[in-house]
Homo-oligomer: A and B are copies of this chain.
Amino acid sequence: MAVRLPRGFRAGATRAGIKPSGKPDLALLVSGLPAQWAYAATQNRAAAPSIHRGRGLYATGAPLRAVVVNAGNANCATGERGFRDDARMAELAAFRLGLAPEEVLTASTGVIGVPLPVERIAAGLPQIELTPYADPFAEAILTTDLVPKVAEAEVAGARVVGIAKGSGMIHPNMATMLAFLVTDAWVPQEALREAWRGIVDRTFNQVTVDGDTSTNDLALVMANGAYGEVPPEALFQALEGVARELAKRIARDGEGATKLLVVRVVGAVTEEEARRAARAVAGSLLWKSALYGNDPNWGRILAALGNSGARFDPLRVRISLQGIPLYAGGDLPFDRERASQAMRQEVVEVLVDLGEGEGAAEAYGCDLTEGYVRINALYTT
């Protein structure tokens, strides 16, 4: 693919021997200039040391220069030792880059409960060649993902590039998902942080693969200003577009998935209720199974909506699937065979009008397949 990073960013990766597969598993993303940054991290109470450390850096408000990521070992539930190992990973990366440790964010993903092989990280870091391209980094951060996920946008001459991993255990609140967005636009940190919260809530937090929330996940944005100032609203829109594109690719690449599900809810009392309603449909195992089987089973959509906490009257709800109206306060006559055919697509869209207010939102999911079960029954931690 060869996606060039925005001005002033470089990245690279190596095989450090953390993944049993021997694939690239240690990666660096570096800004030549101190970058303003924002960050959203897992809400899981068993969060990994890297998440605790990241929260501490975030609280200082100081600029960030680099991220070091290992894929293959989550360094989570590794006791007190895990905190020392995480700090050591930051120190080693900082030494490699000539930075202070507190300028380097750590991220880890992979198996839980196994001590981090710090000596392999120490040996691997000097081997990383930094280039202006996103691709080696994007490949190295994958775990059970099938494909690297990179998206980009331009905004008034500045550029935005996003790189993510997902798969398995993906759910709102940063579930086993890493996302790194970088831009050469200049933006004040406070504005960036405020905008980022909403962007993450509307994109990454609306992805659900299996309802589990991981211990290690984060979504980071770094803005180094190498290009200069752009209208902040335009920048935030570009960041949201890249984040949404990555969110969809994460959902599409969910473990065992064969298609992307996009659920759009309108007519909710509030935007928050629209988000909950959309997530409930995208996360319903019964509907996800029906999606896999190409069964236009709108009863399962309605039941999931009813379980979401969003307020509505079933007699005023409307549901359509791939543009075909299925339900409007009661069963509609529709051609079941045609609706089933329309579901045999890479992307299936459900539109729900709750008929109450102005709240609207989307959620992103995938179908539930025998493949999901097989991957997770046999994937040993």
Contacts and interface: CB of A to CB of B under 8 A. Distances in A.
Interface of A: 43-47, 74, 76-81, 111-114, 168-169, 171, 173, 210-215, 283-286, 289-290, 292-293, 295, 297-300, 302-308, 310-312, 314-315, 317, 327, 329-331, 368-370, 372-381
B373 A369 contact: yes
Nearest to A256: B373
Q: How many copies does the complex hold?
A: 2
B306 A46 contact: yes
Given A215-B306, A330-B78, A46 B314 contact: yes
A377 B290 contact: yes
A168 B290 CA distance: 13
A370 B300 CA distance: 20
A178 B192 CA distance: 51
A329 B311 CA distance: 42
Contact of A113 (B46, B308, B331, B368): B331
Contacts of A304: 212
B376 A303 contact: no
Given A112-B299, A295-B377, A311 B370 contact: no
Contacts of A307: 43-45, 171, 173, 212-213
B211 A285 contact: yes
A43 B303 CA distance: 11
A286 B375 CA distance: 10
A279 to B, nearest CB: 12
Given A286-B169, A289-B373, A376-B285, A112 B303 contact: yes
A146 B300 CA distance: 21
Contacts of A285: 210-212, 285, 372, 376
Given A289-B373, A293-B378, A298-B381, 7 more contacts: A46-B317, A78-B330, A113-B331, A169-B286, A173-B307, A210-B285, A295-B379
